[in-house]
Structure 1
Amino acid sequence: MKLTGGDVDAFLAKITPAARRRDAETLVDLLREVSGQEPAMWGTVIGFGSCHYRYPTGTEGDSPVIGLAPRKQACTLYLLDGIAAHREDLADLGPHSTGVGCLYLKDVGAVDRETLRRILVRSHGFVAAGGDGEYAQLTVTA
């Protein structure tokens, strides 16, 4: 992923449907609070902080420490410490689905906000402290 420097507010303004835009705005505010950083555009991902990753295969690159991709179907949260690290909290979160490192939320208003905040704080803190994720070595770069 590459930091593209696009305008986050302009990107948010174009998100459809309106409910997805509201969810994305809510998540940006929460991620700003959790990370202590301002959002930046990484293509179509809104990212907070940056880190370098390296997979066991040798593939490496740069990524936000924590990121959000508001897609038509759901808002995707990228958790570099992996979903398994949040198994207990996910049971209490409310409606969601997951991938290896992705948390998909179709309706942010339907999930437990404190549980979501705990997940985001833990994920961001793990990476910011220099922890290695379940599927990549991570090094914070900014």
Structure 2
Amino acid sequence: MAENKTKPNARDPDAFIDAVEPEWKRRDARAICAMMERLSGKPPVMWGGSIVGFGQYHYKYESGREGDSLMTGFSPRKAALTLYVMGGFRQRPDLMERLGKYKTGKSCLYVKRLSDIDLEVLEALIAADIAYMRANYDTT
């Protein structure tokens, strides 16, 4: 069975964020990092080369494939800040309706700038997702 390519590593998340350009994206990344650390109670850890993760969970598919992934996290990518909402956000239409300007993928929330969204709603979304992950998966 294939191993996950994205794994936690010893790279320094602060050094990674310090290298983010431009300055406004670095500020946004620091704000997201502080929020996720506070909400998860977990320190930031680099996953792969560009994802800052907080905590982890164990999953097992019906196919038998299983592994570990980050419980929540983000990546300050060139096109947008990518926030990993691992439990999904489709079950929270009330929050998504009030969030502001964003795009989504399966478990990814894409935001150009934090100023485009309501940070209180984002915090509620991340907190609800962390609670969901802890209730439904083996998390550390």
TM-score (norm 1): 0.88
Aligned partner (choices 92, 111, 118) of residue 86 of structure 1: 92
Unaligned runs of 5+ in 2: 1-5
For 1:139, the equivalent position in structure 2 comes to 138
For 1:66, the equivalent position in structure 2 comes to 72
Q: In structure 1, how many angstroms separate the alpha carbons of the residues matched to 2:27 and 2:79?
A: 14
Q: In structure 1, how many angstroms separate the alpha carbons of the residues matched to 2:61 and 2:82?
A: 21
Unaligned runs of 5+ in 1: 132-137
Report the Cα offset of residue 86 of structure 1.
2.1
- The 3-state SS of whatever aligns with 1:50 is strand
Aligned partner (choices 92, 103, 109) of residue 97 of structure 1: 103
Q: In structure 1, how many angstroms separate the alpha carbons of the residues matched to 2:93 and 2:61?
A: 22
Select the structure with the greater relative contact order (CA < 8 A; seq sep ≥ 6).
Answer: 1
Report the Cα offset of residue 14 of structure 1.
1.1
Residue-pair matches, total: 134
Q: Percent identity?
A: 36
Q: In structure 2, how many angstroms separate the alpha carbons of the residues matched to 1:90 and 1:48?
A: 22
- The structure 1 segments of at least 4 consecutive aligned residues displaced by more than 3 Å after TM superposition are none
Q: In structure 2, how many angstroms separate the alpha carbons of the residues matched to 1:31 and 1:17?
A: 21
RMSD (CA atoms): 1.3
Instruction: Name the amino acid aligned to 2:20.
Output: I
TM-score (norm 2): 0.89
